[in-house]
Amino acid sequence: MAWNEKYSAAQRPITPIIGSKPRIAIGIPHEEKATFWWFMRMFAPLIYAPLDWADKVPQMVRGVPLPVSRDQIVELSLKDPAVTHILWVDTDNISVKPENPNVALQMLHQCNQPIVSGLYRAKQAAGFNYAMWMKANLPNNELGFTPIEKWTGNWLQVDVIGMGFCLVKREVYERIPSPWHPWPTATPSEDFRFCLKAKEYGYNVNVFTEVQLRHLGTLSVEPDGNVKVLEM
């Protein structure tokens, strides 16, 4: 039964922290081409710039659907007993507040939460709302989601997020059974499914709005909602 599975998962042993500082897997699920701009602003600092407060290890998977690549990155990360967190980094997000992605990572880490994301706008056909939503009841008991546009302070607990720049503690993946990022047709993406599953197992989904990112495509969607045409 489902409640038995959930109970047993909550009792799964958690790997003790090894060493005096965190070891963060930089998880990059790569499905499409990345821009040189993203490589210089995000990839190079996150992968090659050392930190005095944390160790980093790259974990990249490409050429498979995002739900598969995310789960493969989790499996690879959990094989390393020293890994304490996974930082999810999509290849179309660039840190703008702060500009240094390693500082943004440190800000998320200092929140000391199992799941915490930066703030950015979703790319969609119309209306670039923030990539965070609350569940909404639709007719016929269908599952829907309402975007969040207004809040107070710099900290939110939400139902689902985009995981373009999101820090997740190891324990979340050790306590929740795989697959962690399935994508049935009932939800818009594998990010939504992970968030809903995490909440089923007692984890809050948090957004720290002091960390802000630009979302890239043929357009650049700024954190304030302004849209710029990119020169490719």
User: Mean pLDDT throughout 164-172?
Assistant: 97
Q: What is the pLDDT of residue 3?
A: 34
Query: In a 3-state reduction of DSSP, which class is residue 207?
Result: strand
Degrees to nearest 5, angle at CA 224 with 163 and 208: 45
pTM above 0.75, yes or no: yes
Give the whole-angstrom CA distance, residue 67 versus residue 38. 22
Tokens (6 digits) for 101:
């992605």
Query: Distances in Å between the alpha carbon of 45 and those of 48, 70, 146, 215?
Result: 5, 21, 34, 18
User: pLDDT confidence of 127, banded at 50, 70, 90?
Assistant: low
Q: What is the pLDDT of residue 90?
A: 94
User: Mean pLDDT throughout 11-28?
Assistant: 79
Give the whole-angstrom CA distance, residue 43 versus residue 50. 13
User: pLDDT confidence of 128, banded at 50, 70, 90?
Assistant: confident
User: Mean pLDDT throughout 197-210?
Assistant: 96
Q: pLDDT tens digits for 33-87?
A: 788 889 999 999 999 999 999 999 999 998 778 888 999 999 999 999 999 999 9
Residue 30 contacts residue 61 (beta carbons within 8 Å): yes
Q: What is the pLDDT of residue 4?
A: 40
User: Mean pLDDT throughout 148-155?
Assistant: 93
User: pLDDT confidence of 220, banded at 50, 70, 90?
Assistant: low
Polymer length of the chain: 232
User: Mean pLDDT throughout 167-195?
Assistant: 86
Q: Over 70: is that where the pLDDT of 230 sits?
A: no
User: Mean pLDDT throughout 102-115?
Assistant: 98
Tokens (6 digits) for 222:
């700024």
- Longest Cα pair distance anywhere in the chain, in angstroms? 54
User: Mean pLDDT throughout 8-25?
Assistant: 71
The domain made up of 2-216 has a fold known as: Spore Coat Polysaccharide Biosynthesis Protein SpsA; Chain A (3.90.550)
Burial of residue 60 (CB within 10 Å: 0-12, 13-18, 19+) is: middle
Q: What is the pLDDT of residue 25?
A: 98
Q: What is the pLDDT of residue 184?
A: 65
Instruction: Give the start-to-end residue ranges of the domains of the chain.
Output: 2-216
Tokens (6 digits) for 189:
């993406």
Tokens (6 digits) for 97:
């507040």
Among 65-69, 79-83, 107-111, 194-198, the least confident range: 65-69
Give the whole-angstrom CA distance, residue 117 versus residue 143. 23
Q: What is the pLDDT of residue 94?
A: 95
DSSP string, 77-117: HHTSTT--EEEEE-TTEEEEESSSHHHHHHHHHHT--SEEE
* CA-wise closest residue to 210 among 146, 117, 148: 117
Q: Over 60: is that where the pLDDT of 207 sits?
A: yes
